[in-house]
Amino acid sequence: MTSSLINKPQFPGAWLQPQKPAYGTFPYPFKGLGSEQDDSASSLSALKVALRLGYRHIDTAFTYSNQHQIGTACKELGIEREELFVTSKLHPYNNSYREAWKKIREANLLIWGKDASPGDNYLDSFLIHYPGFGDLIGTWGAFQEAKIKGLVRHIGVSNYEPWHLEKMKAKTGDYPEVNQIEFHPWIYDEQVQVLDFCQSRGIALEGYSPLAQGKRIKDPFIDKLAFKYQTTPSRILIRWCMQHKVLPIVGSRNPIHISSNAEPYTFKLSTQEIETIDGLGASDPVRIAEQWQWNSKKAPFGGPIPHPSSFQRVRTFISKTVKNVFF
């Protein structure tokens, strides 16, 4: 990384910062940085570059094993707690009332440290990461209580289908404030129902893997639009996500890409261009979540929790491959 990038001042433009609520009560930090799914030095370096460039919505999770890096980076850079919007997610194998309470406290401790002042010791957003395991109703009860006590400000879910959300509403009386789902053109046909459902009910949508981990970044139509608008294919995909009113969570280790993705989006895709991009995955979808052996379309509403060793095998696979798919 070059010093010119590391020392570059924040971009102007409040779109990188938390905004007033757009759906329900959930604030709208329009683009977030998806922290890398390990705790390596390169992951910490990428996070610090992003923070210097003005990113203030940082997305992490217990499955990523890197929550502690957020507090470390903020201390080193002198960034105050109130400047940040931090999302974390509960490990799917901890979906229970007792474990959820334990992990909410643990997440705050990992991120902010034991010496954090009471006013700084909270999560902006905490999500149930996956619906397929455990006691989801008990877990949500812990989330609601933690919000009342001020340990979490906004509560939501990830990888939930409409029927999961309807069952949650029937059992608890509430929809979540936010649902984070895989969202990119090559899975759009499978996710448009989730998009319509959430937006019609005041549930904010966040989109992870908006670049499909680069698997189709050289698509001819995306390249054509990048040339037309004098921008990069990644920014075309991010703009497409934004125009669907989905909050893109973009992951990268590359400081050049982190910088490029953060620049103001002064162009706008036409309705016809949006519709063409919508159809890119119709015949050949890409499903990033399958690398975790997750399939939200088939996931039950809770259920038996597998032996931890099964998840560790997946983590080992991800740790060996993730460095090659983030760019």
Alpha-carbon dihedral sign for residues 221, 223, 226, 230:
negative
Question: Residue 182: helix, strand or coil by DSSP?
Answer: strand
Predicted TM-score of the model (pTM) = 0.87
DSSP letter at 91?
-
188 a catalytic residue: no
Distances (CA, A) of 310 to 286, 293, 305, 306: 24, 10, 10, 7
Domain of residue 150: give its range: 3-325
> Which pLDDT score is estimated for 308?
67
Element (H, E) at 195: helix 188-200
**277, two tokens:** 């991009």
**81, two tokens:** 């707690």
Is-contact 90 64, C-beta < 8 A?
A: no
First to last CA, the chain: 14
DSSP notation for 102-140 = HHHHHHHHHHH-TT--TTT--EEEEEE--TTSB-HHHHH
Distance (Å, rounded) from C-alpha 294 to C-alpha 289?
Answer: 6
Q: Cβ atoms within 10 A of the Cβ of 150, count?
A: 11
pLDDT < 70 positions in the chain = 1-31, 34-39, 308-327
Select which of 64, 175, 208, 265 is catalytic.
64
Total count of domains within the chain: 1
Supply the CATH number for residue 88's domain. Answer: 3.20.20.100
**262, two tokens:** 């953060």
**15, two tokens:** 């779109």
Q: Cβ atoms within 10 A of the Cβ of 196, count?
A: 11
> Which pLDDT score is estimated for 296?
86
Distance (Å, rounded) from C-alpha 112 to C-alpha 69?
Answer: 10
Identify which of 122, 129, 112, 202 has the alpha carbon closest to the alpha carbon of residue 154: 122
Question: Residue 207: helix, strand or coil by DSSP?
Answer: strand
Strands 57-59 and 32-34: parallel
Is-contact 151 176, C-beta < 8 A?
A: no
Is-contact 32 211, C-beta < 8 A?
A: no
Distance (Å, rounded) from C-alpha 15 to C-alpha 270?
Answer: 21
pLDDT tens digit sequence for 65-104: 888 999 899 999 999 998 889 999 999 999 999 999 999 9
Distance (Å, rounded) from C-alpha 318 to C-alpha 322?
Answer: 5
